[in-house]
Amino acid sequence: MEQNQLQFWPIRWIHYTKPKPDEIMSICDKYMLHDLVVEDMLESHTQDKIDVYDDHLFLVVHFPKYSLARKKYILNEFNIVIKQDSIISFCTHETSEIEKIADMCKSMMEESLGEEDEKHIISPYFIVYRLLDGMYNKALLSLKKFTRDLMGLEEEIFDTTHLHKELLENLMIKRRNSIFLKHTFVPHDEIMQELHEATVKLFEGELDVYFEDLQYKIDRINYQIQWLTDNIASLADTYNTLMNMRTNTIVGRLTILTVIVWVMTLITGLYGMNVPLPGSEYSWSFLIIAAVVVFLAWLMYIFFMRKRRV
């Protein structure tokens, strides 16, 4: 468990990474949070939602976190309680955004020393906005890398002479990850609209600019995910088409080889019978039969070459 208690006068921000149940109960009792909030915090993988109470908001939102060992995305669940003078946030996996936001807020406080509106510089919603904005920026960078990897996979599919098993596995991993990302970010559009309506009632000031920025990034993320999903589906169809074409080519060549060998087997089989046959009394008959067999095989090969079957 990692705990950060940050003070940006008059705002207090308490953040936990992988909190234990007793720590969740303690912090909820201290800040007198609603029983339903406590229940949702104790339950893992709660669906994305926002609940509005008399003096605080409760936000549950999920972001993807890539696992190199498992080669797939996992859910990083954020539970955020927004009060007028404090923020309580939990997440299931560690993220560097917390330290970045803390450093930024400290710099803002130092730069504003002596100003009359010092206490109005940092608000709970501003911290939540910076947290969501940072996670969306990370998602956009991750999608950018995803796009580069997909382009490399596309070049590999068209350039390689053999469609090996590893190539198909990579394609299926990309497909699974794109579907995961799509299901992760689809609820965010509705959540941001509900958050906008809820914060207007709890906080004063013009907050539209924050939501417009977040909504813009959500739209970009969903657009890129849809583009990736469509391209992966197209690559899967291309892979299957190339695989079928190459399978048909191999089967065609084997069929031609079978026909050629069949003719050779027919001739050698006839002269392998234990009965008198034309030319069997001559010692040079073997060379003639062998030459005829090779000539017929070469003739059939030329025929199929001209028919573009080989």
Helix, strand, or coil (residue 59): strand
pLDDT band at 118 (very low <50, low <70, confident <90, very high): very low
Across-strand partners of 78? 61, 91
Quote the pLDDT of residue 228.
92
pTM (2 decimals)?
0.76
- CA–CA gap between residue 227 and residue 174 (Å, rounded): 13
User: Could you give the maximum distance between any two Cα atoms of the chain, in Å?
Assistant: 122
Element spanning 250, H or E: helix 208-270
- CA–CA gap between residue 171 and residue 291 (Å, rounded): 51
Domains and CATH numbers, the chain: 2-244 (3.30.460.20), 245-306 (no CATH)
Could you report the per-residue pLDDT of 166-195, keeping only the tens digit for each?
Answer: 888 888 899 999 999 999 999 998 888 888
Amino acid at 140: L
Which residues in 248-263 are b (16+ Cβ under 10 Å) and which e? eeeeeeeebeeebeee
- CA–CA gap between residue 178 and residue 228 (Å, rounded): 7
Q: Which residue has the higher pLDDT, 226 or 43?
A: 226
Quote the pLDDT of residue 9.
62
Element spanning 224, H or E: helix 208-270
Q: How far apart are the first and last CA of the chain?
A: 65
